[in-house]
């Protein structure tokens, strides 16, 4: 495993992080035993950043149990507040997460989404207070675009931004990533496999079970889905030429940028986690990067939201 700086005080984390949205059963069924074995397989293989959220219920409670037997001490545990970003709301969310996770503190506490209904300076000061109280070692934001970061950073020097970044949605390459690099804000890239579109597994006509969020996402239906399947097929050919899987290429490609500290990958089995590991060592020639650019030229982040 490789490690990169996440926090400007020099604290490093593994370049691959485990995203635990699927552990809550939101991408199809997941039993507790599998959730535990995924978590422990990740930590045993050197992944130390584990990301969860209040909104991923019951991921936090499952994770709390999976992190017993000494696993908690071996990881950098991150969670997020959702919904009410008033100081009182954030304090209550923090207590909820600590209770669910059965821990006294987390390593990183994040605000899940920007919401201008709550003044950014008050949200930041509430997070700072949680740090002073020892409930979180560091604090950060998630899905903040440039203007949200600028408004918040003026109030407090938050440590990280968790942002969607994958081959099909590159909108944060301008604005967000340069700002983070300039201010030493650690970047956690989420949805790196575009929730499965960048695995090459799904073919046109595939239907997801109703308890899988993808059954309800327009990008997994109709012409948009067909477009992405076509893009994934071309990328898969290139990955095969490199002797790696598309999954490994999609993750490794994000790490080509030094601004990215950690790629948060979701997994449904320990086997999937083991496939992710080699992505930490993937490198690209200039020619390969050009070929990827040419394939991605015909797609856009805006389409991803459709």
Ligand X SMILES: NC(=O)c1ccc[n+]([C@@H]2O[C@H](COP(=O)([O-])OP(=O)(O)OC[C@H]3O[C@@H](n4cnc5c(N)ncnc54)[C@H](OP(=O)(O)O)[C@@H]3O)[C@@H](O)[C@H]2O)c1
Binding site for ligand X (CB under 6 A): 19-22, 27-28, 51, 112, 142-143, 162, 190-196, 199, 201, 247, 264-268, 272, 275-276
Which one of 56, 109, 138, 304 is the catalytic residue? 56
* Smallest distance from ligand X to CB 247, Å: 4
CA distance 196 to 97: 28
Q: Report how far apart the first and last C-alpha atoms of the chain are (Å, whole number).
A: 36
Active-site residue 304, yes or no?
no
Identify the CA nearest to 260 among candidates 195, 206, 190, 203: 190
Angle of CA points 66, 71, 72, to nearest 5°:
90
Helix, strand, or coil (residue 241):
helix
Least distance to ligand X, CB of residue 157, Å = 20
- CA angle, residues 80, 86, 90, in degrees to nearest 5: 30
Residue closer to ligand X by CB (options 42, 126) is 42
Nearer to ligand X by C-beta: 153 or 165? 165
C-beta of 272: minimal distance to ligand X in Å? 4
Structure tokens of 49?
Answer: 């950043």
**Min. distance of Cβ 293 from ligand X in angstroms?**
21
Identity of the residue, 32 or 290, whose beta carbon is nearer to ligand X in the bound complex: 32
The residue among 128, 122, 160, 156 whose CA lies nearest residue 141 is: 160
Is the link from the previous residue into 114 a cis peptide, with omega within 30 of 0? no
Rg (CA), the chain: 19
Q: Are 243 and 249 in contact (CB under 8 A)?
A: no
Q: Which is nearer to ligand X, 31 or 290 (CB)?
A: 31
Tokens of 1: 């495993």
Distance in Å, CB of 136 to ligand X, minimum: 16
| Cβ proximity to ligand X, 135 vs 219, nearer residue | 219
Q: Which residues are catalytic?
A: 56
């Amino acid at each position: 495993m490789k490690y990169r700086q996440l926090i400007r005080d020099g604290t490093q984390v593994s370049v691959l992080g485990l995203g635990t949205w699927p552990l809550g059963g939101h991408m199809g069924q997941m039993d507790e035993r599998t959730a535990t074995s995924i978590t422990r397989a990740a930590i045993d293989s050197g992944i130390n950043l584990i990301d969860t959220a209040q909104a991923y219920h019951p991921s936090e409670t499952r994770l709390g149990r999976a992190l017993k037997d000494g696993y908690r001490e071996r990881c950098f545990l991150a969670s997020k507040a959702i919904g009410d970003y008033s100081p009182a709301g954030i304090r209550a969310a923090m207590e909820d997460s600590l209770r669910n996770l059965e821990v006294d503190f987390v390593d990183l506490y994040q605000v899940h989404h920007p919401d201008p209904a709550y003044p950014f300076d008050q949200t930041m000061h509430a997070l700072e207070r949680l740090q002073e109280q020892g409930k979180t070692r560091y604090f950060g934001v998630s899905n903040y675009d440039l203007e949200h970061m600028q408004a918040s950073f003026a109030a407090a020097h938050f440590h990280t931004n968790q942002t969607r970044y994958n081959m099909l949605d590159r909108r944060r390459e301008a604005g967000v990533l340069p700002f983070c690099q300039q201010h030493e804000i650690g970047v956690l890239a989420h949805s790196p496999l575009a929730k499965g579109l960048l695995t090459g597994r799904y073919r046109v006509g595939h239907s997801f079970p109703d308890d899988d969020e993808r059954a309800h996402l327009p990008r997994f239906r109709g012409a948009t889905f067909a477009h992405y399947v076509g893009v994934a097929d071309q990328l898969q050919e290139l990955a095969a030429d490199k002797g790696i899987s598309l999954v490994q290429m999609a993750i490794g490609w994000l790490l080509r940028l030094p601004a990215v500290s950690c790629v948060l990958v979701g997994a449904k089995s320990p086997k999937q986690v083991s496939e992710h590991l080699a992505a930490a060592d993937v490198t690209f020639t200039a020619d390969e990067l050009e070929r990827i650019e040419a394939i991605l030229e015909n797609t856009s982040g805006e389409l991803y939201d459709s």
